[in-house]
Amino acid sequence: MPPCSCPLLGVCALVSLAILGHILLHDFDVVPRELRSFSQEEIYPARQPRASGQGPQPVPGRHGSPRAAPTQCDLPPDGRFDCAPDKAITQEQCEARGCCYMPARWPSGTQMGQPWCFFPPSYPSYRLENLTTTKTGYTATLIRATPTFFPKDIMTLRLDVLLETESRLHFTIKDPTNQRYEVPLETPRVRSQAPSTLYSVEFSEEPFGVIMRRKLDGRVLLNTTVAPLFFADQFLQLSTSLPSQHITGLAEHLGPLMLSTNWTKITLWNRDVAPAPDVNLYGSHPFYLVLEDGGLAHGVFLLNSNAMDVVLQPSPALSWRSTGGILDVYIFLGPEPKSVVRQYLDIVGYPFMPPYWGLGFHLCRWGYSSTAITRQVVENMTRAHFPLDVQWNDLDYMDARRDFTFNKDGFGDFPAMVQDLHRSGRRYIMIVDPAISSSSPAGTYRPYDEGLRRGVFITNETGQPLIGQVWPGLTAFPDFTNPEALDWWQDMVAEFHAQVPFDGMWIDMNEPSNFVRGSVDGCPNSNLENPPYVPGVVGGTLRAATICASGHQFLSTHYDLHNLYGLTEAFASHRALVKARGTRPFVISRSTFAGHGQYAGHWTGDVWSSWEQLSYSVPEILLFNLLGVPLVGADICGFLGNTSEELCVRWTQLGAFYPFMRNHNGLNSLPQEPYRFSETAQQAMRKAFALRYMLLPYLYTLFHGAHVRGETVARPLFLEFPEDPCTWTVDRQLLWGDALLITPVLKAGKVEVTGYFPRSTWYDLQTVPVEAFGSLPPPAPLTSAIHSEGQWVTLSAPLDTINLHLRAGHIIPMQGPGLTTTESRKKPMALAVALTASGEARGELFWDDGESLGVLDRGAYTQVIFLARNNTIVNQLVHMSSEGAGLQLRKVTVLGVATAPQEVLCNGVPVSNFTYSPDTETLDIPVLLTMGEQFLISWS
């Protein structure tokens, strides 16, 4: 059933009482008792500057006697914090830790269940001392009097709190005497504190804690006093209450967009494993976003790259448990979800601008074993009238599966094949793995010989390259944190590009994946290999399916840097492509970390050809957009196992609305190129392709918004409609930007689909007569617009249909489809104008040559705003250049014109051949205009 108590076609109740009651109770309960007796002014460090050294008055707290038999064990089960995170222990062992012990039933359907051994409120934590104000906020010392049950507690810590912007608070907790590993991500530095903020900060003295409230409603967003702070050498734990159960983020995992707070553990340790629920997957993004009552939201980012668990519990609360580094926490106040995403991207970086061709269709499979077969695939696509922009090859092209080589048997004319693709207006991408073959005779394989000479490989404890085993056999692993490795990688890419003029790089296996545990020589027995706390990783040890945690890298150990491996390779590949090609780079990576979207896109890995994986791909695509990686997609029709015709049609329809659209197939699966299926299936797929290619100008404009403004491309409904709680859990539909709602069929045998339509008018995009472009069959029986008050609507969805709806108030640019973007970019354009009840709409087009670097700096782009009001449509030329000024506008379709116009004028000249449909309230206006000239279209 739909998540919210709103019936099909019925009006949605605004907030369910359960949610409201929960939040009200929770907000009351979350403030520590000691704080309630203080007025706001007493606890909160007053906003006006004080004399130096006069910090806020910390709150006195409990002074529990450490290790005494715990009292106060009558805590509500949902609010118990685990005192045995490291291992299962007996009652005796639990009480020896100074903790409470109460066996409990494992609730059905939960991943872990409530802890039997848990902290009493009196459990010793750190005490806050010497709180003083600074230019940027506050600083203080944290003292722990009693060690914990983890080895090497750091008993004295330094707290720095920075009020960085109106909506961003930043605090760090570090060891003041020893420099510990910190994530080498460049983040903004501030010189002074924000003059005014959306938040207030309070400190609890003992136990130490940070309490942060939203000033608007006093809601507590962060309260770290709920459980003791741990800061040992290899175990750091910071817990906080949450103001709501509605939390998303903490990628990469397979599951719904909203996480369950019912005793859930999410493990972040990048791993090569086919996506399945409850396992650590290819990427790590320690960021979460919480939706609050009333449409507000906040986000929290823990800048830490060590192996970690994040535990969610029903009170609701969250605990970060990391195995190293420091606590480096950012809180983003929004106030609405869109702003939270942008504020997060202000820290980790805005997405890169992809080349236009990268938004076309990509085709790949493992098993295209020769250039002859690869060429035949391209020819078959053309013959069957399917667009294809980028042809790919998997490992098949390599000589003995070694990077930067090609085999002369099947791929003897490899360079010529790539040049032929270019001549046909297409591009070419091949797979590159990070692991470099180490077993070729010395002097015969340049990437390894050069890498060895330049010292670019991760080393073991003897200082020799750590040797693992991947596709080519024995391999060494480049250390992309080493500047020397960046230059070596650039040279290898440039030398191979001089032979084979490829256009982008597909970087796989970069968790890094390893077919042996750790290395061929095993791993040393050390605290890095066997830490006191091992997060819930698949395989039970950090070295499972990867290299030794003790491996030495330029910046630190692999223990600290593992989760950054894919990100650092993406950066190296992005940089190398810029140097080798001099145009916009295109990199797709399997492994990711926070900030990945600045350099590359992502595909969701080795998914099965199943309806379940088709369905789960929607929340995955939405999640990566929230994390600043908008160029994302799943393997259309699935990678592992065999697809069915129906599944492949439905996956192609959805895949046409993945920002990154690629059909990719495994070595042993049945073929699944679009031309392999029945004519009915092909026709349905062609329609989806045509819609994608028609909408590319709009999609490209959305990527521009992501690149310059930190926006999302594919977005969940809650991002546009946060005040409607019914949207919060919708994760089987997606929006493109704020204008286009996509409702795919995700179940077998269905010819109807039910979707949620937030309050607005939604026009069926199938009613826009695109047959003028000559590529689409006439639309199905036309449906009138959906005037929704916020309701679930059942839509007809025969096999050839994916439902697309254009939101009132928006104008989207479209273009005639072609078999490549090289072709389609020359086609005439159209505008679809969806009017609100008051007759208004707005839209935008961004256009450039589609691949040059620095177009914004040089001004080599065209940007046009389209506005509709009072029965007129005008364009505003924000910026013009020769690129795009000459685009032909041939048709304007206006949706929501209530009465038949008597006259239509274009720049004052009557248009005689307009058409009007009273059934769909659609006005079709043929025009002869160029985008670079101002125009005014009116009707009366």
Distance from first CA to last CA of the chain, Å, rounded? Answer: 46
What's the mean per-residue pLDDT of the chain? 92
Q: Which of 433, 503, 508, 921 is catalytic?
A: 508
Q: What is the pLDDT of residue 61?
A: 41
pLDDT tens-place string over residues 125-152: 999 999 999 999 999 999 999 999 999 9
Options 82, 202, 503, 511, the catalytic residue: 511
**Average pLDDT for 5-34:** 35
| 8 A C-beta contact, residue 517 and residue 443 | no
CB atoms within 10 A of CB 885: 15
Mean pLDDT of 553-561: 98
Burial 109-139 (b: 16+ CB within 10 A, else e): eebbebbbbbbbbbbbbbbbeebebeebbbb
Other CB atoms closer than 10 Å to residue 491's CB: what's the count? 18
Dmax (CA) of the chain: 91
Task: Encode pLDDT of 410-435 as tens digits.
Answer: 999 999 999 999 999 999 999 999 99
Residue 776's pLDDT is 44
Q: What's the pLDDT at 178?
A: 98
Rounded-to-integer distance, Cα 759 and Cα 738, Å? 13
Alpha-helical runs (H) found in 247-329: none
Q: Which has the higher per-residue pLDDT, 658 or 113? A: 658
Distance CA 678, CA 674 (A): 9
Q: What is the mean pLDDT of residues 441-456?
A: 98
Residue type at 738?
D
pLDDT at residue 756 tops 60: yes
Q: Tell me if residue 560 is catalytic.
A: no
State the pTM of this model.
0.94
Rounded Cα distance between 319 and 331, Å, is 15
Residue 317: predicted pLDDT: 98
> What sign results for the dihedral spanned by CA atoms 252, 256, 260, 263?
negative
Per-residue confidence (pLDDT) for residue 783, from 0 to 100: 65
Strand order in the sheet with 904-906: 909-910, 904-906, 936-939, 872-879, 862-869, 841-847, 810-815, 829-834, 888-895, 922-930, 915-917
Amino acid 564: pLDDT:
99
Q: How much is the pLDDT for 784?
A: 77
Residue 130 neighbours by CB under 8 Å, 6+ apart: 140, 141
For residue 245, pLDDT beyond 80: yes
User: What was the pLDDT predicted at 30?
Assistant: 31
Banded pLDDT at 5 (limits 50, 70, 90): low
The model's pLDDT over 463-516, given as tens digits with 9 standing for 90+, comes to 999 999 999 999 999 999 999 999 999 999 999 999 999 999 999 999 999 999
Please report the pLDDT score of residue 41 as a whole number: 28
pLDDT tens-digit series, residues 213-241: 999 999 999 999 999 999 999 999 999 99
Whole-number pLDDT of residue 62: 39
Helix (H, G, I), strand (E, B) or coil at 489: helix
Instruction: Identify the helix (H) or strand (E) that includes residue 407.
Output: none
Amino acid at 132: T
**What's the pLDDT score for residue 6?**
52
- pLDDT value of residue 20: 31
Q: Mind listing the pLDDT tens digit for each residue in 806-841? A: 999 999 999 999 999 999 999 999 999 999 999 999
How many angstroms separate the CA atoms of 287 and 308, rounded?
12
- What distance in Å separates the CA atoms of residue 778 and residue 771, rounded to the nearest whole number? 6
pLDDT tens digits along 584-630: 999 999 999 999 999 999 999 999 999 999 999 999 999 999 999 99
pLDDT above 70 covers a percentage of the chain that reads 91
For residue 155, the number of C-alpha atoms closer than 13 Å in the C-beta half-sphere is 4
Q: What pLDDT, on a 0 to 100 scale, did the predictor assign at position 8?
A: 52
Name residue 541's amino acid. Answer: T
Nearest to 756 by CA among 792, 794, 715, 787: 792
Residues forming beta bridges with residue 118, ordered by sequence position: 82, 100
Which pLDDT band, with edges at 50, 70 and 90, does 779 fall under? very low
Residue with tokens 């031309």: 675
pLDDT beyond 50 at 778: no
Residue 678's pLDDT is 98
Q: Which pLDDT value is given to residue 368? A: 98
Alpha-carbon span 468 to 15, nearest angstrom: 55
Based on the number of CB atoms within 10 Å of its own CB, is 279 exposed (0-12), middle (13-18) or buried (19 or more)? middle
Nearest to 260 by CA among 277, 247, 275: 247
Contact present, 600 and 352 (Cβ < 8 Å): yes
Alpha-carbon distance of 824 to 821, in angstroms, equals 5
C-alpha to C-alpha distance for 592 and 72, rounded to whole angstroms: 43
Average pLDDT (253-261) is: 98
Three-state SS string over 643-704 comes to CCHHHHHHHHHHHCCCCCEEECCCCCCCCCCHHHCCHHHHHHHHHHHHHHHHCHHHHHHHHH
Please indicate whether residue 508 is annotated as part of the active site.
yes
Determine the pLDDT at residue 106: 84
Residue 243 has pLDDT above 80, yes or no: yes
Q: What is the pLDDT of residue 13?
A: 33
For residue 25, what pLDDT is reported?
Answer: 31
Say what the pLDDT of residue 37 is.
29
Could you give phi then psi for residue 366, rounded to 5 degrees? -80, 120
Answer yes or no: are the C-beta atoms of 296 and 214 closer than 8 Å: yes
pLDDT of residue 36: 28
pLDDT of residue 11: 35
Is residue 193 scored above 70 in pLDDT? yes
